[in-house]
Amino acid sequence: MIILKTPAEIEIMAQASRVVAEVLQILENAICPGISTEELDQLAEREIRARGALPAFKGYRNYPKTLCASVNEQVVHGIPSKRRLKEGDIVGLDLGAIVGGFYGDAAVTVPVGRVSDEAMRLIRITEEALYLGIEQAVVGNRISDISHAVQRHVEAAGYSVVTEFVGHGVGRQLHEEPQVPNYGKPGQGPRLQSGMVLAIEPMVNMGKSAVRILEDRWTAVTVDGSWSAHFEHTIAVQPSGPPRILSHRLQMAVQQ
């Protein structure tokens, strides 16, 4: 069952998503060679709580941290650790927050210092795929129109989409129906309706699509060792026109 949200509920989800967006911006500003992913996790938890919100991932299915920090060939769900980021790495930062019982969920992938042109291209193509997917989230379309737009852009660039993990509905639960895959033929799946709130989240590998889970039971890595990027926004389908991106990062100085 797909749970549609009222305009008042969407305002609360916008608050949760805004917390996520602001804290992701703070984390991105803090990224530099030498910082550990655990330090980023602590910063994330402190800044979420400072905004009167709760970390959404901590304790979710026993996930131990606030942040997912996925480095290089790690695709998603990297657990923050003592590992220090170094110049040339890329790191996916995935964060969720709860406000008034509603979830916000978003992710970015950022370079650490100067990175290779190929790594920058992977990041750019993945973010572009997210926005092309978001563009499809309009009344009259179906879920797989989002999926198809993502896959098309990624594969045209010579990369592959990850199929083991998908985007999702989001609301009073982190994961609600419908699933939003990053692949598929257009014109399939549920019709998009005003009040649907979706987390759209392309995961893109430079090489082959296959992933495996590390011994820690969380970290997903590419099987071929190729690098991977991930971007995610929480969006609300509008009565007409393009969706509202609830986790948009505002062009403003964030209070630290």
**Residues within the interface to Co ion (CB under 5 A):** 105, 199
60 binds, among Co ion, ligand MF3, none (CB under 5 to 8 A by kind): ligand MF3
Q: Does 127 bind ligand MF3 (CB under 6 A)?
A: no
Peptide bond into 202 cis (omega under 30): no
Q: What is the Cα–Cα distance from 238 to 23, expressed in whole angstroms? A: 26
Question: For Co ion, which is the closer residue by CB, 60 or 217?
Answer: 60
Tokens representing residue 234 in the block: 């929480």
Is the distance from CB of 163 to CB of 210 less than 8 angstroms? no
Question: For Co ion, which is the closer residue by CB, 91 or 115?
Answer: 91
Selected from 23, 68, 129, 211, the binder of ligand MF3 by CB under 6 A is 68
Selected from 90, 112, 119, 199, the binder of ligand MF3 by CB under 6 A is 199
Tokens representing residue 250 in the block: 């505002």
Segment near ligand MF3 (CB under 6 A); pick from 35-43, 60-68, 150-158, 182-190:
60-68
Q: What is the Cα–Cα distance from 131 to 231, expressed in whole angstroms? A: 10
Question: For ligand MF3, which is the closer residue by CB, 47 or 105?
Answer: 105
Selected from 32, 50, 60, 212, the binder of ligand MF3 by CB under 6 A is 60
Question: For Co ion, which is the closer residue by CB, 53 or 199?
Answer: 199
Q: Does 41 bind ligand MF3 (CB under 6 A)?
A: no
| Type of residue numbered 169 | G
Peptide bond into 178 cis (omega under 30): yes
Q: What is the Cα–Cα distance from 190 to 179, expressed in whole angstroms? A: 10
Is the distance from CB of 83 to CB of 230 less than 8 angstroms? no
Which spans of this chain sit near ligand MF3 (rule: CB under 6 A)?
57, 60-61, 63, 68, 77, 94, 96, 105, 107, 199, 232
